[in-house]
Structures are given as C-alpha cells and as structure tokens.
Chain A
Amino acid sequence: MRKNKLILSCIALLLCLLICVPVFAIDNVDESRYASLIVYSPEELKGDQVQYSIYLVASMDRRGNLTTTDGFVGCKWEKPYMEAQDSWGEALQILLYWLDTHKSIKAYDRCIADKFGTARFPTKGKTLVKGLYLVVANPVGKSGSTKLPAPFLVSVPDRDKDDNWIYTMTAEPKAVETSVHVRKVWQDEGHTEARPTSVVATLCYGWSNKVYASVVLSAQNNWMYTWENLPAGVQWTVIEENVPAQYAATVKAETGGFLITNAYVSQKIPQTGQITWPIPVLTVLGLGLFFVGLTRYRKNNEEK
C-alpha cells in the first residue's frame, strides 16, 4: 500500500514537471530557429537603386535580453529604447548620430534592393545573429531623388501581440527627404540700415544640438540655402550664430526646412506719445505776451 502511494506520488510529480516545462520554454528564444529580415522599399523609390545596411546594435540571448555590441558601447541608446513603449524615436536619433560620428563601425550585412525594391537578410553565406538592428538606406551611385527609405530599428526576432516569437521580420520604411533648406526673412521695415551683410546658419542634430554643417547666408544667395545628401531620418534643427545686435531671431520649422526670422528690436521702446508739452508753454507764453502787449497799448493810449 505504502509502495503504491509512493509510485503514484512520483507519477504525479513527473506529470507536474512535464506540464511546467513547456510553460517555461514558451518565453525563451528558440536558438535553433533561423532569423531573417525582409525590407520592402517605399513604392516611390522602387525604381531607385538603394542599398540597405544593417548594424547589430545589440545581440539577444535566449531569454530575449539585449546586450550592446562593441561598436555601440557608450552610445546610451538603451534607456530611451527601454522607456519608449511603442516608439523608439529618441533611441533611433541617438543611434543615427552615433553612427554618423563613428565611421569605423562596420555594417553587419549589406544588401542592394532588387528590381522590386526588396532586400533580404541575411545575404548569401551569412547568418543573421538574433538581436536589435539599425537599418539604414543609402543610394547606389547618383540618384536623382532627394528621398531615401527612412532608417529604423528592428528586433529580430520580435514578439507578436500573443507573445510568440516571430523569426522572420518584414519592414516597409517610408520615404523621407535627405535635403533641408534654410531661409531667412528680415522684419525691419524702416530700419534696414541695421541689417548685417551676412549671417551664419548652422544645421544641428536635433537630439544633441551638435553641429553638422554651417552656411553663410547673404543677399548673394537670397538669404537661403539647401543642404543635400544628408543622412536620412535625422531630426534636424537650425540655429543662427551670433544674432546681430538690434535683432531677435526666431526659428520655425516649415515643409522641407526652416525659416529664420530676424525682427528688429529698437534700442529704445518706440515713442508712442503725442507731443503735448508745447501746448501749455505756447499758451502761457502767448497769453503773457498778449497781456503785456495789451497793457502797453493801453498805457500809450492814456498818455496820448
């Protein structure tokens, strides 16, 4: 009897363990699975030759935890990425800036999109390590378009809404501009003598305000300029260096670029009063002189 109870207990325990194991296994990445990424170019750019480069930002272990790879250590992308909920915007900007300023970082893989605008990773002879990738597009040769597919971050694999791991990821980046213009307008009607002959406008990475490029604006270039062939997807800002005295500069974003407005600020708050002080002075003086004259006239008449 006791022996039977012991056997039954062991069987029950074994059954429990067998039920639990699959539950734990669901959360883990299946390391035997083959990971891949397919990128579809935007419809308007499918005729252009575009090369996609993927950079391994972080490798993934079987639990799905990410570890930053050597090239991106010190970048500080992790915090905004983890905090971002569904949007990785800030982390992406940080990584794009890092990539642009660390030219030694090599792409994990590159692929030129085919005539249908499709690029598949890994390319022949390579294996896609599971992890977080930064995907960046560049034109192949000279392109007439001022647009490129937007860069993006993608986790390969990633979880779906049911928490299942998906090992073949696909992406359809949108087309974004690679040029930014800046134009300046002056609001100084009646005070144009204070206007300088030129100003310097600086294009900066929006996230960090680090300088990317500068240009001199003057009447010769109609106070406007367009930076071209810029890294795609970067959120730019523009600032005016050394705003001229007597002017206040404001920068506003507009379609395709920025507008810098320099408004004249006078050295004195405008004189907005009517001139009234001479009225009593003139009146008093006038009355005074009138009565003096009247008195003299009467005296003269009396003497006569």
Chain B
Amino acid sequence: MAIGLLLIAAAAGMSGWNIYEDRQAGVSADELLKVYVESVEETQERTTAEENQPVKADEPEKETEVLTEETGESQDTEQTEESEDHSVRYSGENLYGVLSVPTLNLVLPVQKDWSYPKLRQTPCRYYGSVEDENLVVCAHNYSSHFGKLKNLRIGDAITFSDEAGENHTYTVACVEVLQPTAVEELTQSEWDLSLVTCTKGGKTRFVVRCEEEKE
C-alpha cells in the first residue's frame, strides 16, 4: 500500500513538474519577447533620428568613369556592388526574431541557435534562415510553445518578424509526421518555413510546412 502511494505520489510529482516547466517556458518567452520589442523600438528610434539629420550629397557609386573628350559626360562601365549589413542590431539574448500565429493566439520569440537549455525557454532556430527561405524552427510541445501546433489548418497565416523588425508572412501549406532520424527530410526541403515539435510521447516529430507570401 505504501509503495502504491509512493508511485502515485511520483506520478503526481512528475505531472506537477511538467506543468511547472510549461508555465516557466511561457514566462521565459514573455520576458524575452519584451527584450526584443524594446530593442526593435530602440533601433527604429535610432533610425528615425538618423533620417532627420541633414543629408550630405552622395557621389554616384561607380568603379570606373569613362569621360568623353568633347562633352565631358560620364558613362558607367561598371557598377559597384555593396554588401548588406546583416549584423544583429539589438542587445539581449540570442534572439533571431518573433513568430506570430494568430489562429493559436501565439506570439513567441525565436532564439538564433538551439540547445536543450534554450529550448526550455523559447522556440529556437534549428536550421536555415529567413533570407535563404528554408527556416526551420523547433520548440517543445508545451502548451505555451508548440503544443497547439496540431490545431493549425491549411491556409492559416503565420508571421515572422526578423531581427530588423521586417515582417514575413507565411501560409500553412501542409503538415506531416517525421521520424526522429529524418533530419535531411526536415532541413533539405523546399518549404520556406517549417515548425517542428514532438508528438505526444515523443516518438515522432510533428512538422508544419509553410510557404512565404511574396509581394
């Protein structure tokens, strides 16, 4: 009888721990979301301040200028290519962007790299990027993270705001269940965005595949 009670207590303890972990994950996500929002606002304020400063005249970006003898007019012979600045513009934890799923009432920050400790806080970027149109985001099946993913329907909208605050809109195209070893199938696909979490019991992986809406 005592052993029976002990086992019941262990089950209750485990259940309680799962509920606690779920709630903590929700709190961590909210805190990190605040940091992201503050940082984006700060970046936007800085950008507005820079735009309001007097503008200096820019010289045209050309590698070579060929002038004619008589008219002195220039003809381009080559255009300079400038590389873009993809550096992170905000401080705070390792944030990659914010995922928003209106039909599930979910707004979650996504961390740039994944590890098991990080997954306990927020969804994490597992593979790819927004720019390369092959982003894979994984998260625990907590109710505050990806636990409700199974309720998504084809055609539902999902928004991802990247580091610079730029919004990318996706549409759910299909869902599938993969084996845990199907890493290549998960990452080497043509889908612009994939959301992945464990099914109940953790034996397989539930994947939502999305296409980006191009303007």
Instruction: Say yes or no: B113 contacts A189, CB within 8 Å.
Output: yes
The stretch that binds A, out of B8-16, B34-42, B161-169, is: B8-16
Instruction: Say yes or no: A167 contacts B69, CB within 8 Å.
Output: yes
Residue tally, chain A, CB below 8 Å to B: 66
Which chain A residues border B56 with CB–CB below 8 Å? none
Pick the contact of B10 from A282, A291, A296 — CB < 8 Å?
Answer: A282
Pick the contact of B119 from A255, A272, A282, A286 — CB < 8 Å?
Answer: A272
Which residues of B11-25 are within 8 A (CB) of A? 11, 14-15, 18, 21-22
B92 within 8 A of A: no
A292 and B142 alpha carbons, distance in the complex (Å): 36
The answer to whether residues A271 and B1 also contact, given A154-B66, A187-B113 and a CB cut-off of 8 A, is: no
Which residues of A212-259 are within 8 A (CB) of B? 233, 235, 248, 250, 252-255
B70 within 8 A of A: yes
Instruction: Say yes or no: B11 contacts A269, CB within 8 Å.
Output: no
Pick the contact of B14 from A282, A291, A292 — CB < 8 Å?
Answer: A282
A294 and B73 alpha carbons, distance in the complex (Å): 103
Which residues of B35-68 are within 8 A (CB) of A? 62-68
Contact string against A for B residues 164-178, beta-carbon threshold 8 Å, 1 for contact and 0 otherwise? 000000000000001
The stretch that binds A, out of B101-109, B132-140, B152-160, is: B132-140
Contact string against B for A residues 264-297, beta-carbon threshold 8 Å, 1 for contact and 0 otherwise? 0111111111111111111101111111111011
Instruction: Say yes or no: B7 contacts A274, CB within 8 Å.
Output: no
B80 within 8 A of A: yes
Where chain B touches its partner, the secondary structure class is mixed
Instruction: Say yes or no: B8 contacts A267, CB within 8 Å.
Output: no
The answer to whether residues A160 and B113 also contact, given A252-B86, A268-B180, A289-B3 and a CB cut-off of 8 A, is: no
CB-nearest residue of chain B to A168: B69
A276 and B14 alpha carbons, distance in the complex (Å): 8
Closest-CB distance, B209 to chain A (whole angstroms): 14
A88 within 8 A of B: yes
Pick the contact of A293 from B1, B83, B119, B142 — CB < 8 Å?
Answer: B1
A92 within 8 A of B: yes
Which residues of B109-164 are within 8 A (CB) of A? 113-116, 119, 126-127, 129, 132, 138-142, 146
Instruction: Say yes or no: A267 contacts B7, CB within 8 Å.
Output: no
B210 within 8 A of A: no
The stretch that binds B, out of A7-15, A105-113, A170-178, is: A170-178
Instruction: Say yes or no: A283 contacts B8, CB within 8 Å.
Output: yes
The answer to whether residues A286 and B63 also contact, given A248-B127, A272-B146 and a CB cut-off of 8 A, is: no
Closest-CB distance, A109 to chain B (whole angstroms): 18
Q: Which residues of B contact A (CB under 8 A)?
A: 1-11, 14-15, 18, 21-22, 62-71, 73, 75-81, 83, 86, 113-116, 119, 126-127, 129, 132, 138-142, 146, 178, 180-183, 186-187, 196-202, 205
Q: Which residues of A contact B (CB under 8 A)?
A: 86-89, 92, 150, 152-154, 158, 160-161, 164, 166-174, 176, 187, 189-190, 233, 235, 248, 250, 252-255, 263, 265-283, 285-294, 296-297
11 contacts between A and B (CB under 8 A): A170-B69, A174-B64, A248-B187, A250-B132, A254-B83, A255-B83, A263-B127, A272-B146, A277-B201, A282-B10, A292-B4
